[in-house]
């Protein structure tokens, strides 16, 4: 495909090889947790766009509702993206189905509750419920963590294809605490055990004083589509009781997934 | 619009005047609640794009993570949009702050809980917590409702600018039940009362057997940034008690918004 003079002039100013769609996504990609509100020039700089291009794209994204302009003139992510993300089969829709059960789990265990799905070699939290003030973990909806270090991640890794496991285990494994398991051999044994027992229990892998218990959630197909976990302070943790509660919630979510058939939970 | 054999400048095949960004957004806009999973040709048709253009844009959106391809080959909204929407200052971030308080409200009242913000002449739900099985209302995160018919909407309308109120009251007002107030004069009186009392109480406006109680949530600036509501069956509703519980939760959310300063809640 040849890009000739027919292209709009602004395109020639963009980094070589970037497509029009790429530039739109570069605007969106300029936002992250440390950069939730950006001025036009910050968007241009972070998205590696010229100011006129950024100006034009931001205006279109605002008119679509994907971005919003705040009182101070800076831009943030708009409600239209919330609407769209609510359609994500593995996102808010899964959350919607799981919510009443996770809420119950949150209430009865008093721990932090997570609902995660695998995206490549990471787990993405589709829902998190934090207990007020205790457990200073900043896990939010949309957060990503490496699979090897979190409860939900370990469950998802244990049930991922051999190729995913090989990829994760052959790459450097980040250490979050002295207790984080970063030895590939030991991790492999842990994954085998998770598959055998159907539950992951880990102590202090991300934050030293905490214990996590996690179990898989099965899709209609019988495949592992998500994982749920509860994080509590290790000193008051009763892993066996948490496991029973988690299994019950997992079954309830699976039943609801079945009832809401047509949901793509691949 | 002529469809010739010369494929490459796909841009020229798109509807006249549509920009590159517009076409990317047309792909995303092809998805809604009735169309959560789409084939490539469905995306092309619904987005009014040629198949080659749709193919190219979908590939880029998949590589960005904004779309995902399921087992059956159809596409759905991807986790990257969930991540992005988590950054929305008026979206999941507000939800994150409000969650523990709303969860408490949900638990203590046993009703359906909503957190809504105004977007033009509609309220968008940033969070919803449904009681299991009771109250068959399908209010989900990302859902939009007209301001005049819902509890959160009435509160947001009462505190919106005169221009917004005039616009809403001069347009046709949709009737959902025989009890939905659709008379502009009566609605104006209701809005005045909501401003005076600081609470909206409505019976059967959306679903006949239900009562909603809603109050505003104030931003750091003192402006109304959101509204929260509880929906319960009218026959067991105790509006005064719900009002007290809602006010308490509203104050707690406002305090947390203050603590999380830097949050744009305009």
pLDDT in tens, A51-104: 999 999 999 999 999 999 988 899 999 989 988 988 888 877 788 789 889 988
Lowest pLDDT segment from A43-47, A98-102, B169-173: A98-102
Instruction: Write the DSSP assignment of chain B as a string of letters.
Output: ----S--S-GGGGSPTT--HHHHHHHHHHT-BTTBSSB-HHHHHHHTT--HHHHHHHHHHHHHHTSEEE-TTS-EEE-HHHHHHHTT-TTTHHHHHHHHHHHHHHHHHH-SEEEEEEEETTEEEEEEEEPPSSSS-----TT-EEETTTSHHHHHHHHTS-HHHHHHHHHSPPPPSSTT----HHHHHHHHHHHHHHS-EEEESSSSTTEEEEEEEEE-TTSSEEEEEEEEEEGGG--HHHHHHHHHHHHHHHHHHHHHTTT----
Are the Cβ atoms of B77 and A64 closer than 8 angstroms? no
* Size of chain B, expressed as the number of residues it contains: 266
Count CA atoms within 13 Å of residue B152 on its CB side. Answer: 31
Cα(A138)–Cα(A116) distance, integer angstroms: 15
| Complex prediction ipTM | 0.78
Q: Environment class of residue B144 by beta-carbon count within 10 Å: exposed (0-12), middle (13-18) or buried (19+)? A: middle
Residue A87 has its nearest CB partner, among B19, B36, B264, at B36
Are the Cβ atoms of B74 and A264 closer than 8 angstroms? yes
Residue A2 belongs to some domain of the structure: no
Q: Is the pLDDT of residue A156 over 90?
A: yes
Q: Do B106 and B236 fall within a single domain?
A: yes
Are the Cβ atoms of A57 and B28 closer than 8 angstroms? no
Cα(B105)–Cα(B121) distance, integer angstroms: 27
In chain B, the residue whose alpha carbon lies closest to the alpha carbon of A59 is B21
In chain A, residues with a C-beta closer than 8 Å to the C-beta of B139 are: none
Distance to chain A for B244, nearest Cα, Å: 21
Q: CATH code at B33?
A: 1.10.10.10
Structure confidence at residue A1 (pLDDT): 37
Cα(B79)–Cα(B92) distance, integer angstroms: 14
In chain B, residues with a C-beta closer than 8 Å to the C-beta of A9 are: none
Distance to chain B for A42, nearest Cα, Å: 16
Residue pair B87/A31 in contact (Cβ under 8 Å)? The answer is yes
Residue A129 has its nearest CB partner, among B56, B103, B143, at B103
Quick one: what percent of chain B has pLDDT higher than 90? 58
Are the Cβ atoms of B20 and A23 closer than 8 angstroms? yes
Out of A60, A84, A108, pick the residue that ends a domain: A84
In chain B, residues with a C-beta closer than 8 Å to the C-beta of A7 are: 11
Structure confidence at residue A102 (pLDDT): 92
Q: Do B114 and B205 fall within a single domain?
A: yes
Are the Cβ atoms of A78 and B88 closer than 8 angstroms? yes
Q: Do A144 and A208 fall within a single domain?
A: yes
Residue B2 belongs to some domain of the structure: no
Q: CATH code at B110?
A: 3.30.450.40
Q: Is the pLDDT of residue B46 over 90?
A: yes
Residue B266 belongs to some domain of the structure: no
Residue B1 belongs to some domain of the structure: no
Residue B218 belongs to some domain of the structure: yes
Q: Do A143 and A227 fall within a single domain?
A: yes
Structure confidence at residue A199 (pLDDT): 97
Structure confidence at residue A16 (pLDDT): 47
Cα(B262)–Cα(B87) distance, integer angstroms: 13
Averaged pLDDT for residues B155-163: 96
Cα(B77)–Cα(A207) distance, integer angstroms: 32
Neighbours of B44 (CB within 10 A): 22
Q: Do B118 and B200 fall within a single domain?
A: yes
Out of B63, B84, B105, pick the residue that ends a domain: B84
Out of B84, B111, B146, pick the residue that ends a domain: B84
In order of A21, A57, A203, B15, B19, the CA distances from B23 in angstroms are 8, 12, 48, 9, 6
Report residue B148 as tokens: 């005049």
Structure confidence at residue A259 (pLDDT): 81
| pTM, two decimal places | 0.77
Structure confidence at residue B133 (pLDDT): 44
Averaged pLDDT for residues B80-107: 85
Structure confidence at residue B45 (pLDDT): 97
Q: Is the pLDDT of residue A227 over 80?
A: yes
Are the Cβ atoms of B36 and A93 closer than 8 angstroms? yes
Residue pair A128/A139 in contact (Cβ under 8 Å)? The answer is yes
Quick one: what percent of chain A has pLDDT higher than 70? 89
* Size of chain A, expressed as the number of residues it contains: 266
Residue A4 belongs to some domain of the structure: no
Report residue A18 as tokens: 């970037």
Averaged pLDDT for residues A159-178: 94
Residue A89 has its nearest CB partner, among B24, B76, B90, at B76
Domain that holds residue A58: 9-84
Cα(A261)–Cα(A36) distance, integer angstroms: 36
Q: Is the pLDDT of residue B79 over 60?
A: yes
Q: Do B24 and B74 fall within a single domain?
A: yes
In order of A77, A143, B223, the CA distances from A62 in angstroms are 9, 25, 23
Distance to chain B for A27, nearest Cα, Å: 11
Q: Number of helices (H) and strands (E), helices first, in chain A? A: 9, 8
Q: Do A65 and A100 fall within a single domain?
A: no
Q: Which one of B22, B109, B142 would you mutate to disrupt binding with A, by most A Cβ within 10 Å of its Cβ? A: B142
Number of cross-chain residue pairs from A and B with Cβ atoms under 8 Å apart: 210
Q: Which one of B17, B24, B42 would you mutate to disrupt binding with A, by most A Cβ within 10 Å of its Cβ? A: B24
Quick one: what percent of chain B has pLDDT higher than 70? 88
Residue B49 belongs to some domain of the structure: yes
Structure confidence at residue A155 (pLDDT): 98
In chain B, residues with a C-beta closer than 8 Å to the C-beta of A111 are: none
Q: For A221, which DSSP code? A: T
β-partners of residue B215 are B228
Cα dihedral: B220, B142, A58, A120 (round 10)? 110
Residue pair B48/B35 in contact (Cβ under 8 Å)? The answer is no
Distance to chain A for B22, nearest Cα, Å: 7
Q: Which one of A7, A77, A127 would you mutate to disrupt binding with B, by most B Cβ within 10 Å of its Cβ? A: A77
Distance to chain A for B113, nearest Cα, Å: 12
Q: How many domains does one find in chain A?
A: 2
Report residue B44 as tokens: 């092309």
Are the Cβ atoms of A21 and B19 closer than 8 angstroms? no
Top pLDDT among B250 and A12 is at: B250
Q: Which of A200-209, A250-259, B38-47 has the highest mean pLDDT?
A: B38-47
Q: Do A116 and A38 fall within a single domain?
A: no
Q: Do B156 and B203 fall within a single domain?
A: yes
Residue A189 belongs to some domain of the structure: yes
Q: Is the pLDDT of residue A9 over 90?
A: no
Are the Cβ atoms of B79 and A129 closer than 8 angstroms? no
Coil, strand or helix: which one is A63? helix
Q: Do B44 and B131 fall within a single domain?
A: no
Are the Cβ atoms of A84 and B85 closer than 8 angstroms? yes
Q: How far is CA B247 from the centre of its chain?
A: 22
Q: Is the pLDDT of residue B2 over 60?
A: no
Cα(A22)–Cα(B113) distance, integer angstroms: 39
Report residue B90 as tokens: 């008026």
Q: Is the pLDDT of residue B199 over 60?
A: yes
Q: Is the pLDDT of residue B78 over 50?
A: yes
Q: Do A183 and A137 fall within a single domain?
A: yes
Q: Do B124 and B195 fall within a single domain?
A: yes
Residue A76 has its nearest CB partner, among B12, B64, B264, at B264
């Amino acid at each position: 495909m040849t890009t000739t003079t027919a292209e709009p002039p602004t395109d020639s100013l963009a980094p070589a090889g970037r497509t029009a769609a790429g530039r739109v996504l570069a605007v969106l990609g300029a936002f992250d947790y440390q950069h939730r509100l950006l001025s036009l020039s910050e968007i241009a700089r972070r998205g590696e766009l010229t100011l006129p291009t950024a100006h034009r794209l931001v205006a279109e994204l605002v008119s679509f509702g994907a971005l919003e302009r705040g009182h101070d003139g800076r831009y943030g992510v708009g409600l239209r993206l919330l609407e769209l993300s609510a359609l994500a089969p593995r996102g808010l829709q899964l959350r919607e189905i799981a919510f009443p059960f996770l809420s119950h789990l949150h209430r009865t265990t008093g721990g932090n509750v997570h609902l995660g799905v695998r995206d490549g070699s990471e787990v993405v939290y589709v829902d998190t419920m934090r207990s007020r003030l205790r457990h200073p973990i900043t896990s939010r909806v949309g957060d990503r963590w490496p699979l090897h270090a979190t409860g939900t991640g370990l469950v998802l890794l244990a049930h991922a294809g051999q190729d995913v496991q090989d990829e994760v285990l052959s790459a450097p494994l980040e250490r979050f605490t002295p207790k984080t398991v970063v030895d590939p051999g030991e991790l492999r044994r842990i994954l085998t055990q998770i598959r055998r027992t159907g539950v992951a229990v880990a102590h202090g892998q991300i934050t030293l004083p905490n214990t996590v218990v996690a179990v898989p959630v099965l899709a209609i197909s019988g495949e592992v589509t998500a994982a749920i976990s509860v994080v509590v302070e290790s000193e008051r943790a009763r892993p066996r009781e948490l496991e029973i509660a988690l299994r019950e919630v997992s079954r309830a979510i699976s039943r609801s997934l079945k009832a809401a058939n047509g949901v793509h939970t691949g």
